[in-house]
Structure 1
């Protein structure tokens, strides 16, 4: 690997790392020596790339750093097209249209020599087993998740029983044959999952629930970890 390519890859590794990453880990991923990573980090810092950290502890890329647009690699194009194709087939109508637009933009933007990766991909997403009709406004639901707003749901379970729930929406999970809302349920005082095709009515209150969305999501993830370890 050329040194210029390695410097770019180091930035990419730091960009995606959620916590400090050691020179050992970077060296292992790039198949080079730890000493080379130390020199490369020093070079990047000398070029005013805002890397924070120290040897033996780990390095992080500070927020606000940006780079000029760069051409995608063939593997990155394959990943983007596969993901967009899956969403176009399994997402709600608004996301499906956005996925189709994204694929068209990628095809228009890539150079001629990479066009076959888009037009004749090696990987394809499976077809949706059956159509699922959401009975809730998915655009408004995503907006409520981002804003941290409380919802009132009238929900029908598998037995056809209806209940009214006040929930704090966390995220939407997209499965092959259904979409599910993960949320904190005030009635159950716990996290619950609601299929979007079983929502009878939804009231978007515009009221903030009393917790930061990021903290709520972190609690939800911890609840999943506990359930898996039981």
Structure 2
């Protein structure tokens, strides 16, 4: 591994962590001596990286610094291309366009050899045969971001209709279905709603009273494999 690759790997290791991590842990992860690790930390700090910490305590990277030019491994490029192609084929037009734009930005800052790898990537993603209603997906995503309640006209597996007011906090993209995880005011519990069973949807002006992150954390602690229950 070259020094540039090692510095990039160190930056990535720090980015993955929100809490300070000891130098010995990072040095072992990167396969370098502790002395080399300290030199690399000093080098990154000299280049402007906002790395806080000290020996024996731990290190943490504050937001706002990237290492130019963008360097990616071949596997990372494959993961980015495959992921963006999956999003383009399996989500709504807005998110698909965002994936293509993100990939174009990455393409613009890659060194020439890596741009060639991106352009010639051969990992393909087939289109879905029965896509979920596209307009609903975009509306649900916006409601989740804004933490707004949704009013749903929902049909269960037997075709019975019900009106629900829910707090959506996650959208799952499964192989054959798209599913909303939400707190249901009528059931006073977490529920999962298949997007293809939503007959009508309204994004309400009311924000739900709890933070999305809190709902997601609580849901993860009580759920296993989400399945439509209504």
Q: TM-score range by the shorter chain?
A: 0.7 to 0.9
Normalising by structure 1, report the TM-score.
0.82
Instruction: Note the alpha carbon deviations across 1:47-83, whole angstroms, 9 max, x for none.
Output: 55332344445322123x3236433423332221110
Match of 1:130 in 2: 129
Matched, 1:70 2:69: yes
Normalising by structure 2, report the TM-score.
0.82
Alpha-carbon separation, structure 1, partners of 2:101 and 2:48? 36
Deviation larger for 187-196 or 90-99: 90-99
Deviation larger for 44-53 or 21-30: 44-53
| Cα offset, 1:199, TM superposition | 0.5
Task: Summarize the Cα distance change of 1:22–1:124 in structure 2 as closer, same or farther, 3 Å threshold.
Answer: farther
Alpha-carbon separation, structure 2, partners of 1:115 and 1:135? 32
Matched, 1:38 2:41: no
Match of 1:186 in 2: 185
Instruction: Note the alpha carbon deviations across 1:1-24, whole angstroms, 9 max, x for none.
Output: 344442332222111223333323
Instruction: Note the alpha carbon deviations across 1:90-142, whole angstroms, 9 max, x for none.
Output: 112322233344445555654543344223325333x2452223275322221
Match of 1:156 in 2: 155
SS at match of 1:137: helix
Match of 2:170 in 1: 171
Given that residues 27 and 37 in structure 2 are in contact (C-alpha distance below 8 angstroms), is that contact kept between their aligned partners in structure 1? yes
Match of 2:223 in 1: 224
1:1-230 superposed matches below 5 A = 1-45=1-45, 49-63=49-63, 65-67=64-66, 69-73=68-72, 74-104=74-104, 106-107=106-107, 110-125=110-125, 127-134=126-133, 137-224=136-223
Alpha-carbon separation, structure 1, partners of 2:210 and 2:83? 31
Deviation larger for 21-30 or 109-118: 109-118
CA RMSD after TM alignment: 2.8
Given that residues 135 and 197 in structure 1 are in contact (C-alpha distance below 8 angstroms), is that contact kept between their aligned partners in structure 2? no
Instruction: Note the alpha carbon deviations across 1:139-162, whole angstroms, 9 max, x for none.
Output: 222121111111111211111112
Alpha-carbon separation, structure 2, partners of 1:42 and 1:184? 47
| Gaps in structure 1 of 5+ consecutive residues | none
Given that residues 184 and 191 in structure 1 are in contact (C-alpha distance below 8 angstroms), is that contact kept between their aligned partners in structure 2? yes
Alpha-carbon separation, structure 2, partners of 1:142 and 1:201? 15
